[in-house]
Structure 1
Amino acid sequence: MTELSTNADYIALEDEVAAHNYSPLPVVVSDAEGVWVTDVEGNRYLDALAGYSALNFGHRHPDLVQAAKEQLDRATLTSRAFHNDMLGPFCRDLAQLVGKDMVLPMNSGAEAVETALKLARKWGYQVKGIPAEQAEIIVMENNFHGRTTTIVSFSNDPEARDDYGPYTPGFVTVPYGDLAAIEAAITDNTAAVLLEPIQGEMGVQIPKEGFLPGLRELCTAKNVLMIADEIQSGLGRTGTTLACGYEGVEADVYTLGKALGGGIIAVSAVAANKDVMEVITPGTHGSTFGGNPLAAAVGHAVVKLLATGEFQDKAKELEPRFRERLEALIGQGVDEVRVRGLWAGIDIDPDLMTGKEACKGMAKRGVLAKDTHGSTIRLAPPLSITAEELDLVVQSLADTLADARAAKGQG
């Protein structure tokens, strides 16, 4: 067996034996702590992606690692065929954190969305009285909710959708942020409206002020569930516990994930009040691993961190600094910037470079970021980042753009 020692060695092996469903930067991480990671050659990088918000608290946060270690010494899996002593406290405190009565725990974010779709349809039939097999769910253009067959059925991203048909029916797509279009699409058979309060995969697209409150009013008036996918936007990222909370909006159903597992284990959940959640009865939905003791222990530790408000406050405190420094790059190779909390979408001038090229340039300067949709990059550093470390992130982008402009003779 060939000994592996360099980034190139590990990348070559991975390319040979692992499916090519990602196109990662040429960095092989071997160690991580806080906002920093180290590759197999000893190079350090500031992680400005944080696992698409799964690492909101940084790598290996000591409280979360301790919770996992303690639970590993007790019990890891019981299945839901039996009760376990971690599940109740976790669900109670998570429900309280997000202002709901009940929690249905799952594993991945996509599972949480699938669960919410099933919940909405069953509520539509049993509570609203929609005729059998006629329930419709309104979704947004340019959405991203996961990659299951049903979810990609209502994606309009060809890369995510093409060649996975036949597709699941029952979804009506409208432009994101368009209240009039949503109202026009609602019928007596509409069970729910599903949306991301901020579209992360599309490059941190933030709807106009007033859209979320308007949607809340519309859903209430039409007896339609509002489902907010807070898997990326939730749990402190935007300076509020949930992105909906930025405008004081309460959805009927929340899907949660990513940061809920603290970067240690996959944990997701659907949260709703009893009048919605209690249509789920024994045998009608389940998961072998959902709500397992290890996941519940780590998830509970995450909830305790968020209950202090420290991480939400940090994102809110650093947002103006983040925005100001990024907006200073507009006209210097950046076309547009969108910032909410410690989450930013930056549109690079496509005539200067692609988003992937910008991310490669930042990596050479010790900062890891992720491109999306050609010319856009996303920044979502851990909420534990310092102001000085945040400045390093923006400076790495500024230097990358400056070098690209110089190479093209733009000064």
Structure 2
Amino acid sequence: MAFDKKKVFYFSQTKSVPKTASRDFFGIRARLALDLAEMKLPVLPGLIINSEVADEIEKVDYKKDLESYFMQFSEELGKAFGDENHPLLIKFVISPNMVISQYPILHNIGLAKDTVEGFADKVGGTFAANEILFLIIGILKIEKMIAESTGDKKYLATVDKTIDSVKKDFKSKEKKQKALSIIEKYEGLLPEGFFESAKKQIEVMLARVSYLLEVDEQNDHDTAILIHPMVYGNYTKDSSSGVCTTRNVITGEKVIQGMFYNNAYDELFSPGKNISQFDKKYVSQLTKTAEQLEDTFKDIRQIRFTVENGKLWLIEQKSVEQKSTASLISLYFDLLKRKIIDDKTLIQSLKPEQLTELLHPVIEEASVKDLDSISGGVSGAPGAAVGRVYFSTEDLLDAKRL
């Protein structure tokens, strides 16, 4: 069967998918990624294998065609598949048309025998070992779903046993375990050739994901595959990661708020610094991105980002759940002033119950600015009532008699 190039789409900050392409075949996650690319934000490049062909990939000769797209990944990130010094790793996002996906996100594809040592040199041996375990648990979850879909109980039992073993390795106190030793431990329990090379690993993973989509009864031929290259905030000394909001979620001041983590993959176990101390060029990029997101979504957003080799990438953005009414009003008036929304939209965006928050007394921010801060946080509910709680009828009756 011939590979249908018209069903595969490449996008990046500078290149979008043709308007004639039907997004109905992209799945929700791929559509969200594409939205950011169309805003020309600093998103990682991506490849969408649409739902019409995603469950047929294992049956076609796609290698040369997909390699041309992967070369574009290499050009944008300065890495390459199988490169011992700068290995390009990718992730698969299985993208159905459902808001909640049952499928796992598959990370670190391309981390094989020919690349793992070079990767470890950049990020450290312990981190590389953990990423190998993440990769293994990902393919095992796919194998488990295949076994469940095909009714292969014997294979399912084997996979479950292997998953339990990997989970124990995750919890192991032996933090200095080497990535290569983990590969040697599990390669015989995974699909043949999985760790042979980076390119072979991609072939195996694509084939197994495609086969899963073919045999999974819950897939109604509406699930696409989104492929992204991966970046790491601990890759080099000039790499970092962070998270920020598009403005102050309490006061509504139009200044990005958040933390960044030097030479760290994420905020876990990493001492962070206030985003105001971040390199000015990145703050400028994030500030511009923040305004674009607010203009598009008419909402205060949270941004997760990574800087690798001195280049900033937008990893994720979503709505901020905890934000004050004052911050929303500030946002809406800013949008109104710049003619992004009109008066009617502003009025309709605010609910009457939200306005009651503004009627409650609050502490002036200026009056506490010189006080020592123990920790940060967001504003809570102002409180609408006080009272007592009784946990027995007897206590309630006693209180009533008083």
Q: Where on the TM-score scale, by shorter chain, does this alignment land: which range? A: under 0.3
Query: What TM-score do you get using the length of structure 2 for normalisation?
Result: 0.27
Q: Comparing both chains, which one has the higher relative contact order based on Cα–Cα distances under 8 Å and sequence gaps of 6 or more?
A: 1
Which structure shows the higher helix fraction? 2
Query: What TM-score do you get using the length of structure 1 for normalisation?
Result: 0.27
Greater Rg by CA: 2
